[in-house]
Amino acid sequence: MILKYIPLDEGMMIMDEAIEKAKKILEGNPETKFSGEEYQRFYECVYFMCTYHSSNEKTMQLYEKFRNSLEESIFSKVLPNLINKQGENLLREFVVMWSNYKLMARWLCRFFEYLDRFFIPQHIELESLNGISFSCFREMVFKKLYSRFIEASLTLINQEREGLQIDFVLLRNVLDIFVKISDDRGVNYYEDFEKILLTEISGYYSRVASEWLLHDSSAEYVQKVFWCLNREKQRAHQYLHPDTEAKIVQVVRYHLLDQIANKLMEKKQAENSGLMTDYQEILLKCAGMSLQEGSSSTSPEEWLSKLMASSAHIY
């Protein structure tokens, strides 16, 4: 390729053209495409500006232009579309803007690719183009609205737990972003969300355990436990990370079985219903829902043995 001199102002105008067209993706036109001729023109512009002179001055200006184009796009296009939305509408727009933003950034990374190939490796203090695209969105959008994303996600989960229909695909996509947007400094946003989720689940099942013990028979109580364990496993499988499922089951078992085992046996003893065949069968089903190895809580088998031993004198 024959080197071509491109003045700074002219080169920046050419790249402005590329950036402005890429921004159309954020405006709701994800089908925006660049022809082979356009791609070659924009890529060669960066290449010539970086290689014609030995100085890094123009190259650093191009590097800053890439970052500034992302920041300006977020400020002018992404945030205005999210800032006034709430609940499910916020999550839905968040998924759309994240998808469009990634597509826009991918095109820009291709146009500025020469920086990644030759300039950035020579300056280890500089972030890669892909790293910039993630960090800009994380710092300017995700962190700013993170608490609202969590609140809206938990609201959907609680609504589904109460029997309402929700968009599982939307929730799964949102939580997938939580995983992917975590940074390389050990900050895991999905794990933070998971901790809040488990705390809410803990409070919920602590409350229902007290209500069920008060109003239901012991057999009805255990039937509800069996149903809840199954339902929480299904719920987790639909939109949560696989590791979260075991943690949720452990929390539910702790509040509905382990913590109230003695009270449940006292209730069973007071009922003194005579035969236990059906009751034992239900308990065995609950016991079969084992957790991960190494769980610090009482295993289902141990819990069942304790329960059966406590009830033996009734019969």
pLDDT of the residue at 136? 95
Q: Give the whole-angstrom CA distance, residue 247 versus residue 294.
A: 12
Distance (Å) of CA 238 to CA 1, 116, 202, 244, 264: 52, 38, 20, 11, 31
Q: Which residues contact 240 (CB under 8 A, 6 or more apart)?
A: 175, 194, 248
The DSSP symbol for 289 reads S
User: First and final CA of the chain: distance in angstroms?
Assistant: 93
Burial of 276 by CB count in 10 Å (0-12 exposed, 13-18 middle, 19+ buried)?
middle
Alpha helix ranges (H) inside the chain: 8-23, 36-51, 57-73, 79-82, 87-111, 113-114, 129-137, 143-161, 168-180, 189-215, 218-239, 242-253, 261-271, 277-287, 300-311
Structure tokens at 75: 């400020």
pLDDT of the residue at 53? 63
pLDDT of the residue at 208? 92
Q: Taking the alpha carbons of 176, 85, 133, 107 in that order, is the dihedral positive or negative?
A: positive
φ/ψ of 229, rounded to 5, equals: -60, -45
The CATH class given to the 8-145 domain equals mainly alpha
> Taking Cα atoms as reference points, which of 66, 107, 105, 98 lies closest to residue 79?
98
φ/ψ of 203, rounded to 5, equals: -65, -40
Q: What is the pLDDT along the chain (315 residues), one digit of tens a residue?
A: 566 778 888 999 999 999 999 999 998 888 888 999 999 999 999 999 888 765 677 889 999 999 999 999 999 999 999 999 999 999 999 999 999 999 999 999 999 999 999 889 888 889 999 999 999 999 999 999 999 999 999 999 999 988 899 999 999 999 999 988 876 666 789 999 999 999 999 999 999 999 998 888 888 888 899 899 999 999 899 999 888 999 999 999 999 988 888 888 888 878 765 444 455 555 555 555 554 444 445 544 455 455 545 444 443
Q: Give the whole-angstrom CA distance, residue 307 versus residue 305.
A: 5
Q: Give the whole-angstrom CA distance, residue 156 versus residue 270.
A: 40
Other CB atoms within a 10 A radius of the CB of residue 191 amount to: 14
pLDDT of the residue at 183? 66
Q: Give the whole-angstrom CA distance, residue 83 versus residue 16.
A: 27
pLDDT of the residue at 283? 55
pLDDT of the residue at 311? 46
Among left, alpha and beta (phi > 0; psi -120 to 50; other), residue 150 is alpha
Q: Give the whole-angstrom CA distance, residue 116 versus residue 109.
A: 8
Q: Residues of 127-152 as b/e, b for ≥16 C-beta within 10 angstroms? A: eebeebbbbbbbebbbeebbebbbeb
Amino acid letter for position 214: L
Enter the pTM of the model.
0.82
Other CB atoms within a 10 A radius of the CB of residue 234 amount to: 10
Reduced to 3 states, what is the DSSP secondary structure of residue 123? Answer: coil
The DSSP symbol for 88 reads H
For every residue of 96-111, DSSP letters joined together read: HHHHHHHHHHHHHHHH
